[in-house]
Amino acid sequence: MQIIKNIEEMQAFRSEMRGSVGFVPTMGALHRGHLSLIRRAREENDHVVVSIFVNPTQFLPGEDFERYPRREEADRNICERAGVDVLFVPEAASVYHDDEVTLKAPPYLGYVLEGHRRPGHFDGVVQVVMKLFNLVRPTRAYFGKKDAQQLCILQKMVEDLFVPVEIVPVDTVREEDGLALSSRNVYLSPEERTRALGVSRSLKRASRLVMAGELDTETIKVAMRETMREIDTIEYIEIVDRGFRPLKRVEIGNTIILVAVKVGRTRLIDNLWI
Ligand code: PAF
């Protein structure tokens, strides 16, 4: 596995690569969720590039940029074992420039729900992902469905800006008890972790209701809220279409149920695609 820290080296290495390139952009602290993205990229491409870059521009003031878990050596071993060809670990100073041209997330999709709670977050995401796409020039890029809004925004970014990259959505990986894997789960105490299970349980409840024929979104949201009684703060439960417009009735094949909560000081998101 080639480890590249330098932008020019990445560009030079890429120009020598022939065949398809699968790309998995990450912020490190890799877990089985990332591994499933890497495996999928490995299956579908001649080469696999993983980037690790804790992108400062997508964190708001007061968020966890400084304490975001950084585990370089463990991440390197995971990538090596998973058959990654290139691990790209650029420095922030070389990725960003003074007074630079910036992209903005879509005015609606980028500023509702997660974008409303974290204004500007998705501007930082599109900016860095576009830069990484231009450096890695992937054939396909792999993103988890757990970050549903990020995935939909990036899908829209490549469509709107005619970026020749196929965005591949990959299912959320869960612990056996249902907790969706996230690099931020390490912040949970054992007691908080137990209470956090209310989130995946509420989504299971929603799924059962829909399977039983209940399509009224208010009824589903009330049932979900009940299941999350032990959660400290429910920031939102929303049932939206793929464009993130709220739905009155679930549309099979076009619905995402989204939850954002706080357990202790830890913010968690999860969702269900229907
Ligand atoms: O999902 C993430 O880890 C980040 O938002 C991404 C896509 C790597 C951009 O920094």
Residue 34 among the catalytic residues: yes
3-state secondary structure of 165: coil
User: Domain residue spans in the chain?
Assistant: 2-170, 183-273
Per-residue pLDDT band for 82 (boundaries 50, 70, 90) equals very high
Atom 1 (ligand 1) nearest CA: 26
Which ligand 1 atom minimizes the distance to the CA of 129?
Answer: 9
Q: Which fold has domain 2-170?
A: Rossmann fold (3.40.50)
Residue type, 83: G
Q: Tell me, what's the pLDDT at 223?
A: 98
3-state secondary structure of 137: coil
3-state secondary structure of 182: coil
What CA–CA distance (Å, rounded) separates 83 from 145?
23
20 with 46: CB under 8 angstroms?
yes
Residue 136 corresponds to which tokens in the numbers above?
A: 């890695």
Per-residue pLDDT band for 262 (boundaries 50, 70, 90) equals very high
Residue type, 19: G
Q: What is the pLDDT of residues 205-260, one digit of tens each?
A: 999 999 999 999 999 999 999 999 999 999 999 999 999 999 999 999 999 999 99
Q: Tell me, what's the pLDDT at 100?
A: 97
Q: Tell me, what's the pLDDT at 48?
A: 98
Q: Which of 58, 122, 131, 183 to mutate to test the pocket of ligand 1 (most atoms within 8 A of CB)?
A: 58
Please list, in sequence order, all residues whose beta carbon lies within 8 angstroms of the beta carbon of residue 92, skipping any fewer than 6 positions away.
Answer: 53, 56
Percent of the chain predicted with pLDDT > 90: 98
Q: Tell me, what's the pLDDT at 9?
A: 98
Q: Tell me, what's the pLDDT at 171?
A: 98
* Ligand 1 centroid to residue 220 C-alpha, Å: 30
Instruction: Determine if ligand 1 sits within 6 Å of the CB of residue 270.
Output: no
Strands 140-144, 21-26: parallel, antiparallel or unpaired by DSSP? parallel
Q: Tell me, what's the pLDDT at 106?
A: 98
Q: Which residue matches tokens 């299941």?
A: 227
148 with 236: CB under 8 angstroms?
no
Per-residue pLDDT band for 11 (boundaries 50, 70, 90) equals very high
| H helix and E strand count, the chain | 9, 9
Please list, in sequence order, all residues whose beta carbon lies within 8 angstroms of the beta carbon of residue 245, skipping any fewer than 6 positions away.
Answer: none
Instruction: Determine if ligand 1 sits within 6 Å of the CB of residue 128.
Output: yes
Q: How many CB atoms sit inside 10 A of residue 269's CB?
A: 22
Average confidence score pLDDT of the chain? 97
Which ligand 1 atom minimizes the distance to the CA of 27?
Answer: 3
Please list, in sequence order, all residues whose beta carbon lies within 8 angstroms of the beta carbon of residue 129, skipping any fewer than 6 positions away.
Answer: 25, 141, 154, 157
Residue type, 53: F
Give this prediction's pTM: 0.96
Kind and range of the H or E run holding 218: helix 217-227
Distances (CA, A) of 240 to 111, 270, 274: 14, 14, 10
Tell me the mean pLDDT in the region 134-142.
Answer: 98
What CA–CA distance (Å, rounded) separates 264 from 245?
30
Q: What is the pLDDT of residues 156-176, one digit of tens each?
A: 999 999 999 999 999 999 999
183-273 under CATH 1.20.1250.20, yes or no: no
Q: Which residue matches tokens 């450096």?
A: 135
Q: Where in 184-265 does DSSP place strands (E)?
A: 233-240, 256-263
